[in-house]
């Protein structure tokens, strides 16, 4: 195996990853998840949706094997901050909900708020005890948190 590499080591969007390889004096090559009987030199696009390790195997004349691995990670979504403060200016039954996310492409807070920016603050009236839920979605995964308001 002269070379086995990937165009990127961490996937941050939906652009495919290109695996490429170059070999010498092999009878056949294979990459798990792609297939058998690949050309001795070539490339292939892959679309991992989770952290994936690709194993490249080259076979010699006497069935000896050499392997090389590449791991491609995917970006994870994080909720860095999600809480509330009582907004005295608007009254005791009004709170400011604050949030901040990382690697999200869409954020939704319920109830009564909806789809919001990836980070921010909004005021919302709450007539009684309310459980706020934030859902942050990324290209490959999503995460959520709950926050109970005790008013």
pLDDT of residue 42: 95
Q: Is residue 129 pLDDT above 90, yes or no?
A: no
Mean pLDDT to the nearest integer, 58-68: 92
Q: In sequence order, what E strands does 60-141 have?
A: 65-74, 78-86, 94-102, 106-110, 114-116, 119-125, 130-137
pLDDT above 70 as % of the chain = 98
- Using a 10 angstrom Cβ sphere, with 0-12 exposed, 13-18 middle and 19 or more buried, the burial of residue 21 is buried
pLDDT above 90 as % of the chain = 77
Q: What is the pLDDT of residues 64-120, one digit of tens each?
A: 999 999 999 999 999 999 998 888 888 778 889 999 999 999 999 999 899 999 999
Which stretch of 25-39, 41-55, 129-143 has the lowest confidence by average pLDDT? 25-39
CB 35 within 8 A of CB 46: no
Give the C-alpha separation, 47 to 63, whole Å.
30
Which stretch of 22-26, 74-78, 89-93, 139-143 has the lowest confidence by average pLDDT? 89-93
Least Cα distance to 104 among 45, 148, 145 occurs for 145
pLDDT of residue 35: 80
pLDDT of residue 147: 86
Tokens of 112: 């009564």
pLDDT of residue 70: 97
- Residue listed under structure tokens 């010498």: 24
pLDDT of residue 78: 97
pLDDT of residue 88: 82
């Amino acid at each position: 195996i002269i070379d086995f590499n990937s165009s990127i080591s961490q996937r941050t969007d939906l652009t495919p990853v290109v695996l490429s390889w170059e070999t010498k004096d092999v009878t056949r090559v294979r990459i798990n998840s792609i297939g058998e009987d690949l050309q001795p030199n070539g490339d292939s696009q892959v679309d991992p949706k989770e952290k994936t390790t690709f194993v490249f195997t080259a076979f010699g004349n006497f069935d000896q094997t050499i392997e090389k691995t590449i791991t491609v990670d995917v970006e994870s979504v994080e909720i860095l901050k999600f809480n509330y403060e009582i907004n005295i200016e608007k009254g005791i039954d009004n709170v400011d909900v604050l949030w901040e996310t990382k690697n999200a492409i869409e954020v939704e807070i319920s109830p009564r708020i909806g789809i919001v920016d990836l980070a921010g603050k909004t005021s919302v009236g709450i007539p009684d005890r309310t459980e706020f839920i934030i859902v942050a979605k990324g290209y490959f995964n999503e995460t959520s948190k709950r926050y109970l308001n005790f008013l």
